[in-house]
A and B are shown apart, each in its own frame.
Chain A
Amino acid sequence: MADEKDNELKDKSKLPSYDELAQEEPEREINTDDYDGGTITEEESNSEQKTDIQAILKTLTPRFPSKRLNDLLQPAMVSRIFPDNLLDKNKLIVLSMLQEHEPDDLTVDPIGYISMVQDGLSIGYEGRGIVDRLEIAGVAHEEELDKLSKELGL
């Protein structure tokens, strides 16, 4: 069967040109719900190139909605918060954030502040934030080597 195909191809003394072989049919109609997203090329050029470690660190280091919260909690996540200090620090930061609002400000979200501050501080509790990052750096390095060896079929 394969030989027949080969012969069929080889029998043609004159090679066909691209235009002789080419065909064009109209685009199929698809309901795309008028989604206004970009093309693959646009999305690709807009997305950021990250190393594995950068990608995972971004997930593990949350960004908070206000600059003040970020200023207070970003260093806390990579510091060593002692157990005796955790609740006091939590209370002080939450109070400080609430005091920035006027007493009659109805938009204030105390539960949101309490939750965000506790999440941020829990990452730095007893220096776990630093330890986690160092562990991930080691694993990421090993995984890169594993992946490389798989790609090369070793």
Chain B
Amino acid sequence: MVVLNKPLAPATKKQLFMIHQLTGEDTRELELTMQEASDRIEELELDQTPINETPVIPTDGLAPFSEAHVTLIEGAQRSGKTTTAVGKVRDSYDNDCVRIYCEDILKIKVDVKGYDRKSRLAKIKYQGETQIIKIPESYTLYTPKRIFSNIHLYGMKYVYCPSFRHILYWLKKGIICKGWLIIDESQRGMNARSTMSELGKELEVQGFQFGKMQLDVIIITHMARLIDWAMRTIPTEHISCTYNKKTKKVTYSLKKKGQQGTKEVSYYAPKYWGNHWTNEKVNA
């Protein structure tokens, strides 16, 4: 029971409205003291909290991450942020497909270094030696790794998240787990100015548990300061992008948490343009 400063004062409109929300009763004429209303709300809320809810635990035999895998991508407009995120996911998707081909068909455990979709050539490291293998045309590549994204992707199996509320709901229910989650224009749902909104608070709670869900999360924003301050503390990788129109290359600096120094990486952006629309807007 919460002891109030003015227990005998009449219940506030907010308290009466909460009782109305919880019970559906007409509370306009209800005569309650502030303390009585507070106790009733507490009881009603306890009644509505399911105590036997099944725990949401991803169970597939995979070891949970020992740390969160969260990448924060920053950059001005048209600087190749989304392309970088999509590229990272596509590379991971392709490499995982090749790894499964090697394990299922060739019966070998390899470290996949790269894969070219056009030629179907894969670079693998097997028993300390780098080799190039060709994946037969007849073999359909697949991976159990899940991809969730709030932008549309092409050439990959994925789940489109139409809004931040969907992301939150699916995170809470354990649908979004064991894979990649791309959150484009993240300041739309995790805005620093909306930190205290219900959505902001809930996303923050979920954000601190990405590691438990075995999720590799990519948060894309113009500037880290635009997103919720708590979310700014989660990323383990910081990427800052720039795009050169003449060379069509995206150059980004990569800083990993706990590691000294910065990596400068440059790649040819059109390689990944086929996997998404570079001008897709995120509104919800």
Contacts and interface: CB of A to CB of B under 8 A. Distances in A.
B132 interface: no
A88 interface: no
Contacts of A16: 175
Given A42-B113, A44-B263, A47-B264, A28 B275 contact: yes
Contacts of A49: 259-263
What does DSSP make chain B's interface, helix, strand, loop or mixed?
A: mixed
Nearest to A50: B261
B159 A23 contact: yes
Contacts of B274: 27-30
A38 B267 contact: yes
A105 interface: no
A149 to B, nearest CB: 12
Interface residues of B, number: 53
Given A22-B158, A39-B91, A32 B175 contact: no
Contacts of B88: 40-41
A138 to B, nearest CB: 17
A5 B263 contact: no
Q: Residue among A21, A40, A41, A45 with the most chain B CB within 10 A?
A: A40
A35 B267 contact: no
Contact of A22 (B115, B123, B157): B157
B215 interface: no
A15 B84 contact: no
Contacts of A30: 270, 273-274
A79 to B, nearest CB: 28
B267 A51 contact: no
Contact of B270 (A6, A26, A35, A40): A35
A54 interface: yes
Question: What are the 7 A-B residue pairs with the smallest beta carbon separation, nearest first?
Answer: A27-B155, A51-B261, A37-B268, A41-B91, A24-B157, A40-B87, A30-B274
Given A23-B158, A35-B248, 12 more contacts: A9-B165, A24-B156, A26-B155, A28-B277, A30-B270, A39-B267, A41-B88, A41-B113, A43-B267, A44-B263, A48-B263, A152-B233
6 contacts: A24-B155, A28-B275, A35-B271, A39-B87, A51-B260, A153-B232
